[in-house]
Amino acid sequence: MSDGLLGYDELLELAERGEIDTVVCGAPDPAGRIIGKRLNVPSFVRLAIEGSGVCASTFVFAVDMDMVPLELPASSADNGWADFRLVPDLATLRRIPWEPNAAFVLCDSYEMDSDQLLEVAPRTILRRQLARAEEKGLRFGFASELEFYLASTPSAQAFAQRYRDLDMLSAHRNDYQMSQAGRDDWFIAQIRNHMSDFGIPIEASKP
């Protein structure tokens, strides 16, 4: 299995050959969603590598799940939804298997006018917690078990229905049933394979 990682020089070579034209600069928001910007490669080099980072608004750290502003101290109308800088962690640079022309890099969030990490950014909070654990001689191993519903209702229609009364791909419970797994695998196999190629190892899947 590939670790999915991409060196910076390799990115430039792939861009020169026309194989990659987009870099997604992203960071997690408080809900775990990836926020950020998509840049063409020259802009990525100019802003994120040779410059001070990619400008974004702290608005993204002060909204609810529907992106409604919460008027929090970190970001509000009072401070003009203050800007911050997305600075790439090149150790996370990788190709996006489901977007062959694109690469992705996780970014740290910095104050706009200083070299201080943005305190409310989830990656900053995690970094701080890991440092505290390290001081106590603790280290962590981590794995996720992701669960979701798979519906046949088109996404626009599901949104209009507020995700109620959706048509599921299975009409009844099929937990662990390989007969259902075969019917779902046109989709689930893409997740297993793409995530592995993205550098996120997948152990197994089941309905």
In a shared domain, residues 33 and 83: yes
Q: And the tokens for 54?
A: 């990619």
In a shared domain, residues 115 and 16: yes
Q: Is the pLDDT of residue 56 over 80?
A: yes
Flag whether the pTM goes above 0.85.
yes
In a shared domain, residues 149 and 48: no
First to last CA, the chain: 24
Residue 151 per-residue DSSP state: B
Q: What angle do CA 79, 83, 89 make, to 5 degrees?
A: 145
Domain region containing 66? 8-135
Integer Cα distance of 13 and 32 in angstroms: 32
Last residue of a domain, one of 119, 135, 151: 135
Write the pLDDT tens digit of every residue in 92-120: 999 999 999 999 999 999 999 999 999 99
Q: What is the pLDDT of residue 72?
A: 84
In a shared domain, residues 172 and 122: no
In a shared domain, residues 33 and 101: yes
Q: Is the pLDDT of residue 188 over 90?
A: yes
What does the longest C-alpha to C-alpha distance in the chain come to? 57
For residue 118, being part of any structural domain is answered with yes
Q: What is the pLDDT of residue 1?
A: 46
Average pLDDT over residues 172-197: 92
What is the share, in percent, of the chain residues with pLDDT greater than 90?
A: 80
What is the share, in percent, of the chain residues with pLDDT greater than 70?
A: 99
Write the CATH number for 120: 3.10.20.70
| pLDDT band, very low/low/confident/very high, at 67 (cuts 50, 70, 90) | confident
Are 95 and 49 in contact, with CB atoms under 8 Å apart?
Answer: no
Domain count, the chain: 2
Integer Cα distance of 48 and 37 in angstroms: 11
